[in-house]
Structure 1
Amino acid sequence: MRELPKELALPSGLVPPEPPDPPATPKDAATVMLVRDTAAGLEVFLQRRVMGMAFAGGMTVFPGGGVDPRDADTSISWHGPSPEWWAERFSCDIGLARALVCAAVRETFEESGVLLAGPDESSVVADARPFAAARAQLVNRQLSLAGFLAEAGLVLRADLLCPWSEWVTPVVESRRFDARFFLARLPEGQRADGDTSEAQDTRWQRPTEALEDWKAGRSGLLPPTWTTLAELEECPTVADAMSQDRVITKLMPKVARDGDILRVVLPGDPLYDESPAHLDARPNDRLSR
């Protein structure tokens, strides 16, 4: 894993002045890096979240969101690696593994219009736009993923997803997520759109370009997004990215105050074990030097 750059600071409003006591329990969530091949190399679909949102407002992120209890419905028609396989990869119980995969498919459809499902186990929907009404009902929680797939006669394609990583929000934050990251190729014929109330801007970008935008101050990135973009930057094609046999290790950054700046450190960084569990770093501590 690449070391986080020192310039990667958190927005001051993201972390409360006083840490929650007790810390907030992380909500299970799924995040999906939707990728495609182009003549210039691999591109990933990114969203800039609406400024006023309670979590990560204004930041550039991948599609994703929290698990809905209905995502664990065992009636969902499923093709691909079993929930047991996903449970082993993400080191969680089988019910949660099933819900995470279903949440990944649902959130990708809700936030980008890309549907990782098909009429049978060997095909994928070529155009998801005819399901626009169902998409809106999923967003409003008027319809469950199980109900939508059953009504449309579709099979969830778990084989179109690859496990990538797991990130847990630091304990100092009041809104916390235990997010499992997935990789998925854009199905042929489908298009990703910006038709979501959660994003003010969406775009396809090469990871290198996205990192350059962050470095130039044109976008904001959270540590998981920066790290994932840096990892994808090393993959020239979608096939290269999806062929990786990744070992999933749960990562929980720590936050420490360096003057008025909130810096993020990861396990393996010499500062990680020295960082306090809350933001009481002294001005003359090692981080400030």
Structure 2
Amino acid sequence: MSVFPPSARSSIVSTLRAAGCVFAEDEAGLLLSTAGSPAALAAMVERRAAGLPLEHVLGWAEFCGRRIAVDPGVFVPRRRSEFLVRQAAALAPADPVVVDLCCGTGALGAALAACLDRVELHAADVEPAAVRCARRNVGEPGRVYEGDLFAPLPASLRGRVDILLANVPYVPTKDVELLPAEARVHEPRVALDGGGDGLDVMRRVVAEAPHWLAPGGGLLVETSERQAARAARTMGDGGLVPRVVTSEELYATVVIGTRPGGAPLSRTATASG
């Protein structure tokens, strides 16, 4: 039996609409289903009306059909990144070694591991709060490291990585202030700001990726549509064989760079959503 009166939903919807929440009805249902008491519900509604991301208020986000823990101050996984996971799953050989760089909550690595029979999963992020969150989502036997890009990874992974997920920040610095307040105010800038043209962090990843990828292994990064050609050229200049895949359904663009050599990967990625 619900601990909340029948009038609670309409009251929450009115409050959220007044605060500018476009999907107030849906959000009210999520808040009601998550809160364990009237006091907890009131606090959650207040935080959401004050502008906190819904996922930070709930403490979780839905991603690839899974509930991913999301702590305050941690980057919220976007639904469009599900396309990157699908591309990675299509590329993965049997029993792959997977690394999730700039992992945030660990959503991408955790979702990919759930798609595969067996996987050796490693993840890393520079933000301590993200690392704590990712360790909850990745779980055993996955490993999550704190540090900048490849720096904290064990040297034993060099030349062994089959799938390298790198959902790096790709918003140009001048555009960060144009982002919605939910991201700009409540998510770490290091997870958003990709430098002058948005590709600075990606270039650092590409520069080192060939040393970590197994022959035939793939690096997958998300970009905007307008950055894709430049990102692909960067991968090509870095010794990887690039291609661009897109999803109109999720408005997502992924650039894949393959390290030449070795047997071809077992499955072929598609460009469809």
Sort the TM-score into its range (normalised by shorter chain).
under 0.3
Query: What is the TM-score of this pair, normalised by structure 1?
Result: 0.25
Task: Give the number of the structure whose residues are more often strand, by fraction.
Answer: 1
Give the structure with the larger helix fraction.
Answer: 2
